[in-house]
Amino acid sequence: MSTTQPASPATPQKPAPHFPEQVTGMYILAKALKNVGIDTMYGLVGIPVTEFAYIAQDLGIRFIGFRHEQQAGMAAATHGYLTKTPGVLLTVSSLGFMNGLTATTNATVNCYPMIQISGSSVREPIDLDQGTYEGLDQLNVAKGLVKAAYRVNKPEDIPTAVARAYRAAVSGRPGGVYLDITTPCLGAIMDHADADKLFFQPVDPAPAQIPSPQAVERAVSLLASAKRPAILLGKGAAYAQIDDKIKHLIESTGIPFYPMSMAKGLMPDNHPLSAISARSTIMEQADVVMLVGARLNWLLSRGHGKWNPDGKFIQLDIDPEEIDCNRPIAAPVVGDLESSVDAIIAALAGKKLAMDPAWVSGIQSESKVKNAKFLERLEPQTVPMTHWSALGSVKKVLEANPDVILVNEGANTLDDTRDSVDMFLPRHRIDCATWAIMGMGMGSAIGAAVASGKSVVAVEGDSAFGFSGMDFSTICRYKLPVTVCIFNNGGIYNGIGVNLSHDGDPAPTTLDVKARYDKLGDAFGATTYYVTTPAELFTALTEAVASKKPCLIDVQLAADSGKESGHIGYLNPASLIDVTV
């Protein structure tokens, strides 16, 4: 690692600072990031951030360069989710910033910590709307879409700005933070010795937030009085990395648990207390439900619909504003999950639970019957393949490799994969989550592989893959152990849509059922497969995972496999009966 600011192929044509006595804002920014522990940056360079990326790389920050900023942002967000430290996204001004902002906003919605750092053009002509290069009032665009947004105009403010962005990303409810750094600030020159005095380590950036003893007592009394209690685990619980405490809470009480999609694996899906196959029973019959890092949002019918109208909720969350937002919460426990779960475990000690033993045994026998029935769905070796026959093979391979991280997006491809593939380890399933966005696949797969060093399999609908497909090249360029399976049924939901005008154009949902996606992989030197039977898929995926190299598997499905909107067709306008969702 060099100790002076290095020159780069992109060194701008202006008087250079005298090294090593002087440094630029770019150097201070890289040093400030390094100083707070940032070791990886995802991004896409150009004016005015190219040289900064070179400097950061030279200072030992790994730089993963993408084809599209949105994917770099998805990678940063996933990095943040898996590590509890902010993932960092670097973008250029205007459109680069806007492309990345989608991911930063999505991270905010999903409570993933990340920092988008964007260069921005000279302020004066932006403020006077004089048509400067890539001119956009980025700070004001970002505000309202992210958890916090700051602009830095002076190099001496950079370390403070980085510390503030870091704190904002990881403290309280985590989220996306925007850091705007103007071109003059990046290029400004300071004495090295003066700059060195600016760096500091933020103390305790994500402080514990201890729940009040009364709140804990109220929650525990309610839980203990329940005849049919359930614990609902969300991705906040997975994020908190308190896996042993969650296990202890569940196993010591014997209360059945239901995991939301990304909380699958926090407790093994096949655990005797798993109620994953008894969702309706939990909703309709539980008398007390304890939400642990899960929001009562659309994914849970916002607490309405099927839910037992007389049921009561306990909610453990770090954000006090989340409480009561859809349904009255009888026992809110506001605090960080580690402190809250600790306090609840302590307060439960010696308390007798009123839980009816028939509640657990009922859920267990229901699960047994349903699981056996579900497996029958995956068994037929149907050719051409359906989502189910393909997933029969994917399930076998992934369950034999439980440490592989599964990334998943699509409609039927999402819903059916989530329902088929059991997870056994925490934070091993990453999907399109709260916003159900398409276009997180390649970015999240890259972020997961880089942040964890583990192998990743991305199971992608053919439409979903299209949103981020070009960044498969990034997987290849960085030689990541990622296998991408594209479930090609030729369309959004399926490939049998009919154009009602019959003018020869494809239907709105129709894509390319005959496309050979494997050839895209060939272009970038990946190992590729084109499979048409479950047996071929099993062999290809087994080989691909074992290779720990970039692989792409084109999984040819029948065009009529899949239904409109997967499992959430009821949200379409024509069938939106329950307007509460």
Interface residues toward ligand ADP, by CB under 6 A: 110-111, 173-174, 234-236, 239-240, 260, 262-263, 293-295, 297, 299, 317-319, 322, 336-337, 434
- Min dist CB 283 to ligand ADP, Å, is 14
If binding is defined by CB under 5 A, does position 466 make contact with Mg ion?
A: no
If binding is defined by CB under 5 A, does position 462 make contact with Mg ion?
A: yes
Cβ-based nearer residue to ligand ADP, 247 or 563: 247
If binding is defined by CB under 5 A, does position 441 make contact with Mg ion?
A: no
Partnered with residue 259 across adjacent β-strands are 233
Rounded to an integer, what distance in angstroms lies between the CA atom of residue 100 and that of residue 141? 12
Rounded to an integer, what distance in angstroms lies between the CA atom of residue 77 and that of residue 443? 9
- Residue 318 interacts, among ligand ADP, Mg ion, ligand TZD, none and using kind-specific CB cut-offs from 5 to 8 Å, with ligand ADP
Q: Are 517 and 553 in contact (CB under 8 A)?
A: no
> Residue 247 is which amino acid?
K
Cβ-based nearer residue to Mg ion, 409 or 462: 462
- Residue 437 interacts, among Mg ion, ligand TZD, ligand ADP, none and using kind-specific CB cut-offs from 5 to 8 Å, with ligand TZD
**3-state secondary structure labels for all residues of 457-494:** EEEEEHHHHHHHHHHHHHHHHCCCCEEEEEEECCECCC
If binding is defined by CB under 6 A, does position 411 make contact with ligand TZD?
A: yes
The residue from 437, 476, 485, 558 that contacts ligand TZD (CB under 6 A) is 437
If binding is defined by CB under 5 A, does position 561 make contact with Mg ion?
A: no
**3-state secondary structure labels for all residues of 94-147:** CHHHHHHHHHHHHHHHHCCCEEEEEEECCHHHHHCCCCCCCCCCHHHHHCCCCC
- Min dist CB 491 to Mg ion, Å, is 5
- Min dist CB 446 to Mg ion, Å, is 22
Q: Which helix H or strand E contains 193, and what residues bound it?
A: helix 192-196
Rounded to an integer, what distance in angstroms lies between the CA atom of residue 475 and that of residue 477? 6
Q: Identify residues 441-500 at the interface with ligand TZD (CB under 6 A).
A: 461-464, 487, 489, 492-494
- Residue 464 interacts, among Mg ion, ligand TZD, ligand ADP, none and using kind-specific CB cut-offs from 5 to 8 Å, with ligand TZD
510 by DSSP, 3-state: which?
strand
The residue from 183, 489, 509, 528 that contacts Mg ion (CB under 5 A) is 489
Query: What does the per-residue mask of binding to ligand TZD show for 530-569, with x meaning CB under 6 A?
Result: --------------------------------x---x---
Cβ-based nearer residue to Mg ion, 462 or 536: 462
- Residue 439 interacts, among Mg ion, ligand TZD, ligand ADP, none and using kind-specific CB cut-offs from 5 to 8 Å, with ligand TZD
Cβ-based nearer residue to ligand TZD, 216 or 421: 421
- Residue 484 interacts, among ligand ADP, ligand TZD, Mg ion, none and using kind-specific CB cut-offs from 5 to 8 Å, with none
CA dihedral 355, 358, 359, 365 (to 10 degrees): 150
Q: Which helix H or strand E contains 74, and what residues bound it?
A: helix 69-83
Cβ-based nearer residue to ligand TZD, 120 or 509: 509
Q: Are 34 and 158 in contact (CB under 8 A)?
A: no
Rounded to an integer, what distance in angstroms lies between the CA atom of residue 555 and that of residue 533? 8
Beta-carbon count within 10 A of 460 CB? 32
Instruction: Tell me, by CB under 6 A, how many residues bind ligand TZD.
Output: 19
Binding site residues, Mg ion, CB under 5 A: 461-463, 489
